[in-house]
Amino acid sequence: MSAAYIILEDSTGPVYGLSKRFKATQMKTPLQRTDGVKYLLDGSVDKSAGAILRTWQYMLRVPFSSTDDAYGDLDDLKELFLLNDPNGTPNDVITLVDHMGDSFEVYFAGELNPENLTTILDGYNSAYITIIQLLEKTGG
């Protein structure tokens, strides 16, 4: 059974760390090739095979402030995005629990650029939309 949300958790887990639900309104799951391709002087192609990376791109509807502790707000999403120390506690590995309940270890990739959906910039009636990109830790 699928859910209308995803869960993002920091590396210290749901008991001691930050673990929040976020409402996903759209999802893409592109695969990314990392092959190296060079065109040689004689016109032939020199290709070296690389890893195939699994990514998730979610459009999230995030409240500025949440009245439900199970759901994340804009500050929670920023806190998860800003985890950038691979040796820190928590580190930069995030656990994604997708809408089907499957768990993956991922990193944030790209930028976080929330856009306000309302004429109210903060408070419980303010909501933002943002796209996040997550990259699987193992590379698929």
Asked if 52 contacts 32 with a C-beta cutoff of 8 angstroms, the reply is: yes
Phi-psi region of 83 (alpha: psi -120 to 50; beta: other; left: phi over 0): beta
Residue 3 pLDDT > 90? no
Q: What is the mean pLDDT of the chain?
A: 90
Band (1; pLDDT cuts 50, 70, 90): low
In this structure, whether the domain defined by 5-35+47-136 belongs to CATH 2.40.30 is answered with: yes
pLDDT at residue 22 in the model: 96
